[in-house]
């Protein structure tokens, strides 16, 4: 079981992921430079948060053209796990590996906060350690995290249960007040139809270390370790 963490110039949550996978969970982890073309040694590829290439165009719009993204797409096509967190989600949607787009937050401000999420599915490699419907508290930190998709796409996402995490209040209710950025249907994270590609704006890696006082994100990584160790 091995994690790979993609590093673009401007990535800044790469070490945060490594801190969890290698530091807390003691799993083999490789940091992968954006010019590399082979990620096949890794079971799970994580595209971390940050501002890839500065994100001066649209978030993730340049990163999708980097050499490593061809390898990541290939990894996904083979049914292996690809996780995009924050900027990683933006890169995955720009790359077409996930539907929809992330646009500027409703209030046009960057928002850093701890929010409640409902785990909509626990049958995925990265959610098995949660219970279905469990409400967890995970940090967010983004300026462009408002999930948008056209009506048909949205309907399709819901019909095929591709919404994995949804912003809710602490009771698990989907309310407008619980939506930190204006995302449609309070969407915080979605997967592809096969479930092996996930994109999410919240940062589970920032809620994994007991020393920092929050651990609701740790089961996300533990699920992967457990599921993939079996394979």
Task: Report d(CA 45, CA 170) in Å as an integer.
Answer: 31
Is residue 213 close enough to count as binding other proteins by CB under 8 A?
yes
Task: Report d(CA 178, CA 180) in Å as an integer.
Answer: 6
Is residue 10 close enough to count as binding other proteins by CB under 8 A?
yes
Neighbouring-strand partners of residue 163:
190
86, 146, 191, 227: the active-site residue: 86
Here the tokens at position 65 are 């053209």
In the list 120, 144, 205, 216, the residue contacting other proteins (rule: CB under 8 A) is 205
The stretches of 19-119 forming alpha helices (DSSP H) are 67-77, 87-95
Contact string 122-161 vs other proteins (x = CB under 8 A): -----------------x-x-x------------------
Q: Among all chains, which residue has been given the structure tokens 């003691």?
A: 26
Pairing of strands 135-142, 111-119: antiparallel
Task: Report d(CA 82, CA 145) in Å as an integer.
Answer: 19
Is residue 58 close enough to count as binding other proteins by CB under 8 A?
no
Give the residue with the Cβ less far from other proteins, 67 or 79: 67
Is residue 113 close enough to count as binding other proteins by CB under 8 A?
yes
Q: Contact positions toward other proteins, by CB under 8 A?
A: 7, 9-10, 12-13, 15-16, 18-20, 22-24, 28-33, 49-51, 53-56, 109-113, 139, 141, 143, 203, 205-206, 209, 211-213
């Amino acid at each position: 079981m091995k994690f790979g963490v993609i590093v673009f110039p401007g990535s800044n949550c790469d070490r945060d992921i490594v801190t969890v996978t290698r530091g807390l969970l003691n799993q083999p982890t490789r940091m992968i430079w954006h010019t590399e073309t082979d990620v096949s040694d890794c079971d799970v590829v994580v595209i971390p948060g940050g501002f890839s290439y500065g994100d001066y165009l649209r978030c993730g719009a340049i990163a999708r053209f980097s050499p490593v993204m061809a390898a990541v797409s290939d990894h996904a096509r083979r049914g292996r796990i690809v996780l995009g967190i924050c900027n990683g989600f933006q890169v995955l949607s720009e790359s077409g590996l996930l539907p929809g787009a992330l646009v500027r937050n409703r209030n046009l401000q960057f928002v850093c906060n701890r929010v409640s999420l409902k785990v909509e599915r626990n049958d995925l490699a990265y959610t098995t350690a949660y219970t279905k419907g469990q409400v967890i508290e995970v940090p967010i930190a983004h300026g462009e995290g408002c999930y948008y998709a056209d009506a048909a796409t949205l309907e399709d996402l819901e019909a095929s249960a591709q919404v994995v995490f949804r912003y809710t209040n602490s009771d698990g209710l989907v309310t407008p007040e619980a939506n930190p950025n204006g995302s449609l249907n309070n969407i915080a994270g979605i997967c592809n139809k096969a479930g092996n590609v996930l994109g999410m704006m919240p940062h589970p890696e920032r809620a994994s270390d007991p020393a920092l006082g929050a651990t609701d994100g740790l089961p996300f990584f533990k699920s992967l370790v457990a599921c993939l160790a079996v394979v």
